[in-house]
Amino acid sequence: MKKLHSISRLLTVPNRSFFLFGPRGVGKSTWLDHALLNAQRFDLLKTDLQVRLSAHPEELESLIGNNPPEWIWIDEVQKVPRLLDEVHRLMEERHLKFALSGSSARKLKREGANLLAGRALTKNMEQFSYGELGHQYNLGRAIQYGLLPLVHLYPEDAAETLQTYVHTYIKEEIKEEGVVRKLDPFLRFLEVAGKLNGQQINASNISRDAMISRSNVDNYFGILSDTLLGHFLSSYRPNLKVREVTHSKFYWFDPGVARAASNLVYEPMDEIWAGTALETIFFHELRVYNEYSKKHRGLFFYRTTQGSEIDFIIELTKQKINKPAEIICIEVKYSKKWKSEWFKPILSLQGRKGINIIKAYGVYMGKEILTYHDLQVLPILTFLEKLFKGHIF
Ligand SMILES: Nc1ncnc2c1ncn2[C@@H]1O[C@H](COP(=O)(O)OP(=O)(O)OP(=O)(O)O)[C@@H](O)[C@H]1O
Ligand SMILES: [Mg+2]
How much is the pLDDT for 214?
A: 93
Ligand 2 centre distance from Cα of residue 32 (Å): 9
Alpha-carbon span 131 to 10, nearest angstrom: 7
CA distance readout (Å), 130 to 21, 215, 381, 390: 20, 38, 8, 13
- Identify the weakest region by mean pLDDT among 111-115, 298-302, 360-364: 111-115
CATH 3.40.50.300 for domain 18-124, yes or no, is: yes
pLDDT band at 222 (very low <50, low <70, confident <90, very high): very high
pLDDT exceeds cutoff 60 at 317? yes
Predicted local confidence at residue 239, as pLDDT: 67
Residues with CB under 5 A from ligand 2 (ion): 29
The pLDDT confidence band at residue 247, using thresholds 50, 70 and 90, is confident
Ligand 1 neighbourhood includes 353 CB (under 6 angstroms): no
Q: Helix 271-292 crosses helix 380-388 at what angle (to 10 degrees)?
A: 10
User: Three-state DSSP class for 360?
Assistant: strand
Judge if the beta carbon of residue 25 lies within 6 A of ligand 1. Answer: yes
Kindly state if the Cβ of 102 falls inside 6 Å of ligand 1: no
CA 248 to chain centre: 16
**Arithmetic mean of pLDDT, 138-166:** 98
Domain with CATH 3.40.50.300 in the chain: 18-124
Q: Tell how far the Cα of 42 is from the centroid of ligand 2, in angstroms.
A: 12
Q: How far apart are CA 243 and CA 256, in angstroms?
A: 35
Residue 131 sits at the vertex; the CA angle it makes with 256 and 166, to the nearest 5 degrees, is 20
Indicate if the pLDDT at residue 117 is higher than 80: no
1 falls in which pLDDT band (50, 70, 90)? very low
Beta strands in the chain (DSSP E): 18-21, 40-43, 71-75, 97-102, 121-124, 199-200, 230-235, 249-252, 298-303, 309-317, 325-332, 355-364, 370-372, 375-379
Q: pTM score, two decimals?
A: 0.95
